[in-house]
Amino acid sequence: MNARPDPAALARDVKQEARRLGFEACGIARAEQLDTEARRLEEWLNGSRHAGMTWMERHFDLRIDPRRLVDGARSVISVIDNYYQPLEPSSEPDHGRVSRYAWGDDYHRVMKKRLKKLMQWIEDRCGTEVNGRAFVDSAPVMDKAWAQRAGVGWIGKNANLIRQGLGSWFFIGELIVDVDLTPDGPAFDHCGSCTRCIDACPTDAIVEPYVIDSNRCISYLTIENREPTINAELAERSDNWVFGCDVCQEVCPWNKFRKPATEARYYPRRNTTQTSIADWQDMSEEEFLERFAGSPIRRAGHAGIQRNVRAVAANGRSVSRGARTGNKR
């Protein structure tokens, strides 16, 4: 059996190949149990901060130890994929807003394909079979924790991963492999005394720095929430968001370093950024499924979107049928 390449040289080459494939950054951490992160996750779950996301209670042992996901795992490779688009969403009060991450195609498919290419490259480079798996928000993997350990960025007070010189408009993915790679050092927190995200959250979902209460988070309420209605007090404070929320990222000072994504599949789809509440209300399930095929928006489902639209309309942000503006994109 051929000897695998030197861990330091291979780590360097993996990062270079990741950048060639289009990833914004790549870092490496040693595959080991996440003890500190496990305690924080347990406290968060015990406080019922995960709201209706009961699936987060399952497979706790897999979440905190990558060696349980991949036999013989030695390294966790973290990558990020920039999705920021310079187009400003509609400021019209009668339009429903969609989080930027959902303007284009489903990131799971886009990133998974490139991660598999990186995996194949690693195997070719090693000259031997490599045991590993690619993850893009699709399994019990604490992606932000691994990215911080790999030096890709730090977890901010809004619980998003932030990278110096780029901000936070990006997706995260991992490769867990049974290959020895020289690890990077962890990224350090650069939020300082800033509390802009906490102050700006419309529903006070950031209950303390670095802690999100999903029960109050607009993103949870409009995406993962499976209840037929949204709490009236929270709905009233949720502005015109019909899918997700970007407020804590929009106010983050580090996002002044944002830059446009080059991945064409993240470009805004037609009828996503400037759709009136009236148009959202009129959308049949068939039209919804057709329009948002291959889009993250489908995760909320037609019923979920209609619930969100009703909440916005109840706050007086919709327009009358006779005054509908139609789609501008």
Q: What one-character-per-residue DSSP string does 120-150 give?
A: HHHHHHHTS---EEEESSSSS--HHHHHHHT
Cβ-contact 67, 31 below 8 angstroms:
yes
Count other C-beta atoms under 10 Å from residue 310's C-beta: 18
Residues sharing a CB contact under 8 Å with residue 243, sequence separation 6 or more, in sequence order = 96, 97, 98, 99, 102, 222, 223, 297, 300, 305, 308
Residues sharing a CB contact under 8 Å with residue 121, sequence separation 6 or more, in sequence order = 14, 17
Distance CA 261, CA 85 (A): 6
Distance CA 257, CA 288 (A): 35
Say how many residues make up the chain: 329
CA nearest neighbour of 231 among 308, 137, 120: 308
Distance CA 234, CA 222 (A): 11
Count CA within 13 A, CB hemisphere, residue 6.
Answer: 3
Q: Tell me which amino acid residue 159 is.
A: A
Residue of 13, 65, 137, 180 marked catalytic: 137
Distance CA 235, CA 315 (A): 8
* Active site (annotated) includes residue 13: no
Pairing label, strands 95-98, 241-243: parallel
Start-to-end CA distance of the chain, whole Å, equals 57
Sign of CA dihedral 101, 98, 49, 57: negative
Cβ-contact 308, 251 below 8 angstroms:
no
Residues marked as catalytic? 137
